[in-house]
Chain A
Amino acid sequence: MNGFMFKVEKFFDILLNKGGYKEVIEGLQNTMIIAVVGLLIGIVIGTLIATVRVMPKYKAAVRVLDKFCSFYVGLFRGTPMVVQLLVFYYVMLPLLDIKMSSVLVAITVFGLNSGAYISEIMRGGILSVDPGQMEGGRSVGLSYGTTMLKIVIPQAVKNILPTMGNEFIALVKETSVVSFVGAKDLYLAFQSIGSGTYEFMVPYLAMAIIYIVIVCLITLLIRVMERRLAKSDRGR
């Protein structure tokens, strides 16, 4: 027990007096930026794909788009995130001769990846909305797109909010692999603190606690949002 307390003291010494906190803050920032911006990009991509996939398939153009979308979803759901990161960073970028920071690469890949997952969640959400809602909108002369955006998707989002919360939590957790392409996330911050003294026990424990706290906060946030959105169900 004494040994553990000593390790804790040493950890806090590095963290507070030797600038370790700067690394942790940077790591935390990057982790959250990658997860949050990735989620936002994912929501946009996912909503677009879901809309294409539930569209009536009269037109050839829609059918082609639909095929492309299902290929995209299959591709990103069928390979591990790490593989996608590595391929994007070490294969795509050099081939296309593009320079991009590690964090930006991580954001892009997380966005593309979560877009595939969110599209499936969103599609389920859209299909769970009573088809009468679309008919109601169309019957007063609103276009398919407007009805989708203003009437159907808001209701779909309400239905899938818990699932979306899980997706966000999954994204936060998955950010721990972005160090594969050199992005400085929480993991890399604590790893670097630990490697200064070859003492990893306390740093990794602290890292675990931070992840748990983040996840709890997100869960709380989603509860609050759910409660707000539920108001149109209860009426007044």
Chain B
Amino acid sequence: MIEVVNLCKSFGDNHVLKNITTTIKKGEKVVIIGPSGSGKSTFLRCLNCMEDPTSGSIIFGGENIADPKVNINVHRQKMGMVFQHFNLFNNKTVLENIMMAPVYVATKKLKKQKRDNLLIKLHLKKGTPVSVNGSVHEIKAQARDKAIELLKRIGLEDKADSYPSSLSGGQKQRVAIIRSLAMDPDVILFDEPTSALDPEMVGEVLELMKDLADQGMTMVVVTHEMGFAKEVGTRILFMDEGRILEEGKPEEFFVNPQTERSKDFLSKVLI
């Protein structure tokens, strides 16, 4: 699914990621843990090139998306991302937040098809016209239906026309998660999705994430929720100082950590 080869990332003289190589397979739930500043977020953000890798490659969908010539937007549509601070569009309603990207992508495709067909008709381009089905109106209606369906799934359909500012943190994060789901991604990246939440709201978000996991979604999760890591994770990556210091199945890693650093880390987080 995602193949990371010799990934390095520096901010100026600060070498944050040092030669990371790993493969994330379809259906895996990879949980990344490690001390603060070890480069977890940076690693995650390199996976969809929110941070441009300094060197190395990220193979996704058969292409090296670390290559600046690749159209990253197309790949990001298949790689959802959920942020610590939700990053919902403040100027859009909940429904618009969810519909926005699907409508944009489908409309763009429709316009391109129409343009191509016109060029072919005018003999400015070779090929046979493709049958264009649907209109912008239909695209919107479809996206709306899907968005409502997703909202029903998290029990927030009555918030469809509200703005994000009127939602609780937990509600915002759940909307953010289904916003990324609306694109039917192959994988979703989570960067500390529950760290900015009040304790009583952590549960609802983790519940939804477990739900996704059960349905077979490929997930890469940076988190401090060790319970979630144990229960849902299929592989733990322990990062320290920009490297993957240790990796393994949760039942092995948590019971029998191999390095001093990971033992030390676990003794601090698992009280």
Write the residues of chain A forming the contact surface with B, with a CB cutoff of 8 angstroms.
58, 130, 132-133, 135-143, 146, 150-151, 154-155, 158, 231-236
Contact = CB atoms under 8 A, between A and B. Distances in A.
Contacts of B85: 130, 132
Given A133-B90, A135-B87, A232-B90, A140 B100 contact: yes
A154 B91 contact: yes
Contacts, number: 84
A139 B180 contact: yes
A139 B80 contact: yes
Interface of B: 48, 50, 68, 73-77, 80-81, 83, 85-92, 100-101, 104-105, 161-167, 176, 179-180, 183
B89 A133 contact: yes
Nearest to A59: B68
Contacts of A158: 91
A35 B83 CA distance: 44
Contact of B163 (A135, A138, A143, A232): A232
- 4 A-B pairs with the lowest CB-CB distances in the bound complex, closest first: A235-B166, A136-B87, A141-B77, A140-B101
Given A136-B89, A151-B91, A141 B50 contact: no
A146 B92 CA distance: 14
B73 A141 contact: yes
Nearest to A156: B91
B50 A142 contact: no
A236 B91 contact: no
Contacts of A155: 90-91
A199 B161 CA distance: 61
B113 to A, nearest CB: 18
B162 A140 contact: no
A89 B92 CA distance: 45
Contacts of B105: 141
Contacts of A236: 161-163, 166
A231 B161 CA distance: 12
A232 B89 CA distance: 10
A156 B109 CA distance: 29
Contacts of B163: 231-236
A235 B167 CA distance: 8
Contacts of B77: 140-141
A130 to B, nearest CB: 8
A136 B88 CA distance: 7
Contact of A140 (B76, B91, B165, B167): B76
A45 to B, nearest CB: 23
A235 B68 CA distance: 39
From B76, B81, B90, name the one whose CB has the most chain A CB atoms within 10 angstroms: B90
A38 B12 CA distance: 43
A141 B74 contact: yes
Given A132-B83, A151-B89, A155-B91, A138 B76 contact: yes
Given A130-B85, A135-B50, 16 more contacts: A58-B68, A133-B90, A137-B89, A138-B76, A139-B48, A139-B50, A139-B83, A140-B76, A141-B74, A142-B101, A146-B104, A155-B91, A232-B90, A232-B165, A235-B163, A236-B162
B235 to A, nearest CB: 23
Nearest to B45: A135
B83 A135 contact: yes
Contacts of B92: 151, 232
A232 B92 CA distance: 8
Contact of A138 (B50, B74, B80, B183): B50
Nearest to B176: A136
24 contacts: A130-B85, A132-B83, A133-B87, A136-B86, A136-B87, A138-B50, A138-B73, A139-B76, A139-B80, A140-B80, A140-B179, A140-B180, A141-B76, A150-B100, A151-B91, A154-B91, A155-B90, A232-B163, A235-B162, A235-B163, A235-B164, A235-B165, A236-B161, A236-B162
A143 B105 CA distance: 10
Contacts of A233: 163, 165
B63 to A, nearest CB: 15
A132 B87 contact: yes
A136 B76 CA distance: 11
